[in-house]
């Protein structure tokens, strides 16, 4: 549909629904995706995947150049191409390059929650934007923004209950496993937190902030180009280091003083799995809100590169410190025949197993 209007799109949608017998009674929400040109198909694929768990109407607005002649082109996808949803894809040019409530209001499902998602860059104040004001949940992705850390600080300043960021969602499994470990060992004095990965990404910062404030300990983020995004966390305790290391894509190895190593199913989470998780809840994520608004400014976080002169392996340093104090920091050999890259025989250290992600994870989606 070229050079069309929202009213014409709605009329055509009703005609297709009558012809194909598609009903909207099972739709539980409206997902509005606010994409930029060249970044829409990956978002639609993730939304279609999530729709199998959360049947919804997907409205995609793709922003093109505001200097072009004003027009609106549209495409409707129903059935197999749309998963368990119906997709309304709109390309806005000129004055319609900016998504507004007026543009999408006629296409929203009646009496259904609205979730807005910016898969790439997002407005300075998502909740204050035209679409953000009518949305019950607002999902951003600072990891994919042109300026990730500036975007994270921006989210901190403009946070409104109902906001969330996929950089936080990507570390859900890390938080679950680390919390389970600390519950098992009981009260313990954590002296330092060390996070390692290929680059300092928003997900690493948020995990470091959360751990630093929860455990009242300084956190160091170590950048190492030879490693994956976020793949090792070490808690330096009074009894020795507690380490959660994921050398591959599916299994992490948990090492604790005086205990045999455990293999834990913790697959890399892709965009599909992260979006599906966020659509499971329509209430505010209070923990994220606390981290992004309060903890981000007061956490004790430092960063360094592993190739800095004199830099040593943080785990080796922690073990040497434990030896100097007489504490046990024995790390037993890994169980023979159970390589960390295999899921066979893997166990979970407290809580349910991890959700198996879909395919196509990008480097930003590997915490």
Tell me the per-residue pLDDT of 99-108, one tens digit each, with 9 for 90 and over.
999 999 989 9
Listed in order, strand segments (DSSP E) in 12-166 are 29-36, 56-63, 71-78, 85-93, 114-117, 137-140, 163-165
In this predicted structure, what is the pLDDT of residue 92? 94
Asked if residue 255 is part of any domain, the answer here is: yes
The reply to whether 347 and 237 lie within a common domain is yes
282 belongs to a structural domain: no
Q: Are residues 14 and 111 part of one domain?
A: yes
Residue at 291 is within a domain: no
Domain that holds residue 71: 6-140
Q: Does 18 share its domain with 135?
A: yes
pLDDT band at 81 (very low <50, low <70, confident <90, very high): low
Do 108 and 46 lie in one domain? The reply is yes
Residues 101 and 180 in one domain: no
161 is a domain residue: no
Give yes or no for residue 339 having a pLDDT over 70: no
Residue 150 placed within a domain: no
| pTM of the predicted structure, to 2 decimals | 0.80
Q: Per the domain annotation, does 27 fall within a domain?
A: yes
The rounded distance, in Å, linking the Cα atoms of 92 and 69 is: 10
50 in the same domain as 95: yes
State whether 339 and 199 are in the same domain.
yes
> Is residue 1 situated within a structural domain?
no
- pLDDT on residue 337: 33
Q: Is the pLDDT of residue 349 over 70?
A: no
Residues 122 and 176 in one domain: no
Strands 85-93 and 251-255: unpaired
Alpha helices in the chain (DSSP H): 6-20, 41-51, 101-104, 148-158, 166-169, 172-185, 202-215, 271-278, 286-290, 296-298, 314-324
**Residues 113 and 185 occupy one common structural domain:** no
Asked if the model's pLDDT at residue 365 lies above 70, the reply is no
**Do 188 and 132 share a domain, yes or no?**
no
Give residue-wise pLDDT tens across range 182-239: 888 776 788 999 999 877 789 999 999 999 999 999 999 998 877 767 889 999 998 8
What's the structural domain count of the chain? 2
Both 331 and 250 in a single domain? yes
Examine residue 158 and state whether it is found in any structural domain, yes or no: no
Other Cβ atoms less than 10 A from the Cβ of 331: the count is 17
Shared domain check, 220 and 134: no
């Amino acid at each position: 549909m070229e050079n069309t209007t929202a009213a014409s799109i709605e009329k055509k949608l009703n005609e297709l629904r009558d012809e194909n017998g598609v009903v909207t009674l099972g739709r539980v929400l409206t997902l509005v995706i606010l994409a930029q040109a060249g970044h829409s198909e990956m978002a639609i694929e993730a939304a279609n995947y999530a729709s199998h768990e959360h049947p919804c109407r997907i409205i995609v607005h793709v922003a093109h150049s505001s200097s072009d002649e004003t027009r609106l082109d549209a495409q409707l996808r129903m059935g197999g191409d749309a998963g368990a949803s119906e997709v309304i894809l709109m390309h806005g040019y000129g004055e319609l390059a900016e998504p507004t409530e007026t543009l999408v209001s006629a296409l929203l499902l009646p009496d259904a929650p609205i979730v807005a998602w910016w898969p790439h860059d997002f407005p300075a104040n998502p909740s204050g934007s035209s679409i953000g004001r009518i949305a019950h949940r607002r999902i951003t992705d600072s990891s994919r923004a042109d300026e990730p850390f500036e975007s994270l600080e921006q989210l901190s300043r403009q946070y409104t209950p109902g906001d969330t960021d996929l950089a936080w969602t990507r570390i859900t499994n890390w938080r679950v496993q680390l919390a389970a470990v600390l519950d098992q060992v009981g009260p313990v004095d954590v002296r330092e937190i060390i996070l390692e990965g290929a680059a300092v990404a928003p997900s690493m910062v948020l995990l470091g902030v959360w751990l630093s404030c929860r455990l009242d300990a300084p956190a160091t983020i170590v950048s190492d180009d030879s490693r994956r995004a976020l793949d090792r966390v070490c808690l330096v305790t009074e009894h020795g280091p507690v380490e959660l290391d994921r050398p591959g894509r599916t299994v992490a190895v948990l090492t604790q003083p005086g205990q045999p190593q455990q293999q834990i199913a913790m697959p890399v989470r892709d965009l599909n799995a992260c979006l599906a998780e966020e659509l499971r809840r329509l209430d505010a994520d209070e923990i994220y809100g606390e981290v992004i608004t309060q903890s981000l400014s007061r956490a004790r976080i430092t960063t360094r590169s592993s190739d800095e002169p004199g830099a040593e392996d943080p785990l080796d340093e922690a073990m040497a410190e434990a030896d100097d104090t007489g504490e046990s920091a024995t790390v037993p050999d890994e169980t023979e025949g159970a390589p960390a890259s295999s899921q066979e025989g893997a166990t979970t250290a407290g809580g349910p197993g991890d959700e198996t992600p879909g395919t196509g994870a990008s480097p930003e989606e590997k915490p």
